[in-house]
Chains A and B, each alone.
Chain A
Amino acid sequence: MKNFMALFATPVQRVTGILAIVTLYVTLANGLLPPDSFLYVSDYSVTLLGKYLCYALLALSVDLVWGYCGILSLGHGAFFALGGYAMGMYLMRQIGDRGVYGNADLPDFMVFLNWDVLPWFWAGSDSFIWMVVMVVLAPGLLAYIFGVMAFRSRVSGVYLSIMTQAMTYALLLAFFRNEMGFGGNNGLTDFKDILGYSLQSGSTRLSLFIITAVVLWLAFFICNRIVNSKAGKIVMAIRDAENRSRFVGYNTASYKVALFTFSAVLAGIAGALYVPQVGIINPGEFSPINSIEMVIWVAIGGRGTLYGAIVGALVVSYAKTRFTAIMPEAWLFALGGLFVLVTLLLPKGLVGLWPTLKAKAQQLWPKTKEQAL
């Protein structure tokens, strides 16, 4: 037993272990158990869990820049949505002539707009490899350009937050336009299959869930490596005192740009994994409130701890699913209340709660532990 518990000693091991157990359980329960069994996991729940894991990946990317570098991005939803649109374009092309208008080359909405050729930026969108490239490139490039401009001119703090919000707001307005060529208001939807596998089938959904879990684990592992490396130490130094780090001789802007870009790519990947599971991507994903919800996941879970971000995303998303089903009116009250309470009372988030309580307990009853031993 003691050996078993030792497997869960560090946060990395804990996350790895729990992710592995959950994935394994869901796979087995969904694949092998009969539907009427108590322990059965339905296809719907698999997709829902997959969605939560995408959110967790997204929260991880937000936490990486906010928790470790002090960059409060209120525009990570933009990167998420861009990754999602890259995937959506690929899935759209996979529909082929099965759309309402039966046009083999053009997606339905383009036929509807009386376009007769694909716009140039849709070139190559029917290739899976190109899609993967775009999922990384589109959010990465935007974040790189934005980061270079913002961090080189030393825009920081709330100014940066407001600028990121303006960025996602501008993209929201742009993507709502039909002329942009991304389906306007309705976005991209009615997907049929991915790499030839039907998106409706249970096995595809299960596979997507497993892939998401693996990607989340990989991302967590890499993020953990980054924050524990020498570069990670510098990033945290920048968070705590940027000018001092600069005076010591570090090029703080480069570190920030690199971290911001990497984080945006993670968000984009999360979006790309999200779209085939929920089956739609529309401009609503760019709306500023979405980006702010991501921040609250991290705040509630505990910023500055990577596993805290994952916990926060899962807990809040689950609560949202529950709340909006039972009493939709109360969700915004609850979310708003969470913002206020967490910032006022739980600056370290949920994962900070346990160590704080333990410390409090030790303070109150310093001897009980020794007596117990």
Chain B
Amino acid sequence: MILFARLIFLMLFIVALSWPLKAAEFENFETALTALPEANFKSLPELLEAIAELDDQRVSSLFTHLSKGEVYFQKSDKQVFYVVDQADGTANIVDVISGEVVQDINKNQLSKVKTTNSIRSGIAQLQAQLNLNHQDSAIRLNAAREMLADVTRISDKRLADRQTKEENSAVADILILIAALKELSKEDSAAQLAALESLDSSLEPDVRQVLVAASQDKERYSPEVQIKIKATLASIENQRNLYSYAENIFFGLSLGSVLLLAAIGLAITFGVMGVINMAHGEMMMLGAYTTYVIQQCFPNLIEYSLLIAIPAAFLVSGLVGVLIERSVIQFLKGRPLETLLATFGISLILQQLVRTVFSPLNRQVIAPEWMSGSWQINPVFSVTFNRLYIIIFSLIVFFMLLIFLKKSALGLHVRAVAQNRDMARALSIRSNWVDAATFGLGSGIAGIAGVVLSQLTNVGPNLGQAYIIDSFLVVVFGGVGNLWGTLVSAMTLGVLNKFLEPITGPVMATIIVLVGLVFFIQKRPMGLFPQKGRAVE
């Protein structure tokens, strides 16, 4: 039985091979369409190729509909239609040739032009060729990129034709690459060498793939060309490495700016006031939940929700901070370990409060449209907008805080109380009031950090927990009471983490950084930028 089946298969195979492989040529789109209903799975690809050769605007839309399975023909007269199913269940029937909606035909009278997976992928290729002639330069660019993967899809003549017409420089660059790859596949050493010249330092992944394959092909390429291929590959690798460094630095800076936002509030409460606030992470959590609540309250203003959330989160977290300072921390002045415990208790209460009010599940915070998307600088390096904005935003917050502390009256009082409380009081600064304001400020900035975090991670009751240890380490590493130190240490830790990650994996990277910091603190207990002074106990 199996033998029999094999025999039949073999016979079919032979028949298929001996079938005339002549591609039909058509005068125009209309005559080509008449052949469509008669085509079978085997002849359809050839037919479509022939249609693609036609210079007609309707070809592209025919291919689009065909790949979606929306092309039908009438059994009686072989007329071809698009049948587009509507949302309400009815079907919109359009005549392919005239492009007009046809009313008097029922879908049941029509039968579908069937396609297979391989035919559909063939259609995609053909469309890429078509798109190379599209009016929109962005579509042409994409089509050219796709063409790089398999340059045999386009004939030399068409390519040269296109190259003379092309006005967009980005597309023209890719066309040069395509031409070079075509040259490379020819059996002529001089042409191959010339082609390699123009492939040098191209970042397109397809070019690299072709070159890697070529470097293994000893038969086709002479030793001289082989050496040139190796050199070209090396220069491509160099470029790629450079950009992957750039990417690591960018990711590192974006992680660093998140750390900066998380730590900078702590740098104020811990660094300036000397108060350990273990509930700092929960202040961030409150900020993130404020964003969530605002998006729930104003569902029509999602685009602006972050702009509203930033001051709102600052107020919410800041007020909670003032409340904590007035009700607990002011009674524990000069007892840092007790403060640590009490604020830890507060953090537990806040977490449970959020769990009770909002449920323990993560809440969904929507990213506004302007935060999503990315800026593709070249094929191997792109910058996502949300990370870019976060870096810029954190720097703005940092410098605003710096200016506030240096230039404003309240900032002056804060620094005065931090340096010498008794002297400041003697100069009629209300130190209690300054304490509350400072703590509120630090907490409020944590709230802003929470708004940013809501764009990056899940908003849940444990949001703050993940950042509290990191934030403390950033402050300690940078040197307590030194905002510039906090900036440097946050960025250093962020970049360090991202450079370690590809080598060791994310978890080991975190561990290595933690252990490294523990060692660092042994060597320099006062951090990178210690405050100068001679006080002892």
Query: A: which residues have CB within 8 A of B?
Result: 70, 72, 146, 149-150, 152-155, 157-159, 161-163, 165-167, 169-170, 173-174, 176-177, 241-244, 288, 292, 295-296, 299, 329, 332-333, 335-340, 342-344, 347
Of B338, B340, B525, which one neighbours A154 at CB under 8 angstroms?
B525
* Bound Cα distance from A177 to B536, whole angstroms: 43
Residue B351, interface by CB 8 Å:
yes
| A161 and B536 within 8 A (CB) | no
Q: Does B348 contact A (CB under 8 A)?
A: yes
* B518 part of interface (Cβ distance < 8 Å): yes
A333 to B351, CA, bound (A): 9
> A173 and B510: CB pair below 8 A?
yes
Are the CB atoms of A158 and B352 closer together than 8 Å? no
B344 on interface, CB distance cutoff 8 Å: yes
B514: interface (CB < 8 Å): yes
A155, A176, A241, A243, most chain B CB atoms within 10 A: A155
B511 touches A173 (CB 8 A): yes
What is the chain B residue whose CB lies nearest that of A74? B340
Chain B residues with CB under 8 Å of A177's CB are: 507-508
B328 contact from A162, A174, A176, A344, Cβ within 8 A = A344
- Contact between chains at A166 and B469 (CB < 8 Å): yes
**Contact A174 B523, beta carbon cutoff 8 Å:** no
Q: How far is the CA of A100 from the CA of B508 in the complex (A)?
A: 30
A170/B511 contact (C-beta < 8 A), A332-B349, A336-B345, A347-B338 known: yes
Does B351 lie within 8 Å of A332, measured CB to CB?
Answer: yes
Query: Across the two chains, which residue of chain A brings its CB closest to B523?
Result: A153
Q: List 29 A-B contacts (CB under 8 A).
A: A70-B337, A154-B525, A158-B336, A158-B337, A158-B340, A162-B472, A163-B521, A166-B514, A166-B518, A167-B518, A173-B511, A174-B507, A243-B537, A288-B469, A296-B341, A299-B341, A332-B349, A332-B351, A332-B352, A332-B355, A333-B349, A335-B345, A337-B345, A339-B342, A339-B344, A339-B346, A340-B342, A340-B349, A343-B341
Contact mask for chain B residues 40-76; partner A; CB cutoff 8 A; 1 contact, 0 none: 0000000000000000000000000000000000000
Binary contact track B495-537/A, C-beta < 8 Å → 1, others 0: 0000000000001101100110111011101000000000011
Please, which residues of chain A bring their CB within 8 A of the CB of B349? 332-333, 336-337, 340
How far apart are the CA atoms of A173 and B338 in the complex, in Å? 28
Interface centre among A152, A329, A336, A337, by most B CB within 10 Å?
A336
Question: Which secondary structure dominates chain A's binding surface?
Answer: helix
* B346–A170 CB distance below 8 A: no
Evaluate contact between A72 and B337: CB separation under 8 angstroms: yes
Query: Are the C-beta atoms of A169 and B469 separated by less than 8 Å?
Result: yes
Smallest beta-carbon distance B157→chain A, Å: 57
Number of A-B contacts (CB under 8 A): 120
Tell me how far the C-beta of B266 lies from the nearest C-beta in chain A, rounded to whole angstroms.
Answer: 11
Contacts A158-B336, A163-B518, A332-B352 aside, 9 further interface pairs with beta carbons under 8 A come to A70-B337, A72-B340, A149-B522, A161-B340, A166-B514, A167-B514, A173-B514, A299-B341, A343-B341
Given known contacts A165-B469, A336-B349, A159 and B525 CB-to-CB distance under 8 angstroms: yes
Knowing A155-B521, A166-B469 are in contact, say whether A336-B515 is a contact too (CB < 8 A).
Answer: no
The residue on A at minimum CB distance from B473 is: A166
Query: Interface size (B, Cβ < 8 Å)?
Result: 42
- Distance A149 CA – B472 CA, assembled complex (angstroms): 19
- Which residues of A are found within 8 Å of B341, using beta-carbon distances? 292, 295-296, 299, 339, 342-343
* Cβ contacts under 8 Å, A336 to chain B: 344-350, 352
Is B313 in the interface zone, CB < 8 Å from A? no
Q: Which residues in B have their C-beta under 8 angstroms from that of A242?
A: 537
CB of B365 within 8 A of chain A? no
A161 with B525, Cβ < 8 A, contacts A332-B352, A339-B345, A340-B346 known: no
How distant is the Cα of A234 from the Cα of B6 in the complex, in angstroms? Answer: 94
Our pick among B348, B517, B525 for the contact of A339 (Cβ within 8 Å) is B348
Distance in angstroms from B88 CB to nearest chain A CB is 48
Q: Kindly provide the distance from the CB of A242 to the nearest chain B CB, expressed in whole angstroms.
A: 8
Chain A contacts of B353 at CB under 8 A?
A: 333
Q: Which of B328, B507, B519 contacts A340 (CB 8 A)?
A: B328
Cβ of B470 to closest chain A Cβ, rounded Å: 9
Q: Are A343 and B338 in contact (CB under 8 A)?
A: yes
How far, in angstroms, from A373 to B267 measured CA to CA in the complex? 60
Is A158 a contact partner of B348 (Cβ separation < 8 A)? no
**Nearest 4 pairs between A and B by C-beta?**
A339-B345, A336-B348, A336-B349, A332-B352
Complex alpha-carbon distance, A342 and B342, angstroms: 8
Q: Are A162 and B346 in contact (CB under 8 A)?
A: no
* Beta-carbon contacts under 8 Å, B344-375 to A: 344-353, 355-356
By beta carbon, the residue of chain B nearest A295 is: B341
- Taking the nearest CB of chain B, how far is it from the CB of A40, in angstroms? 36
**Cα-based distance from A70 to B335 in the complex (angstroms):** 12
**CB <8 Å contact, B523 and A241:** no
Q: Which residues of A contact B514 (CB under 8 A)?
A: 166-167, 169-170, 173
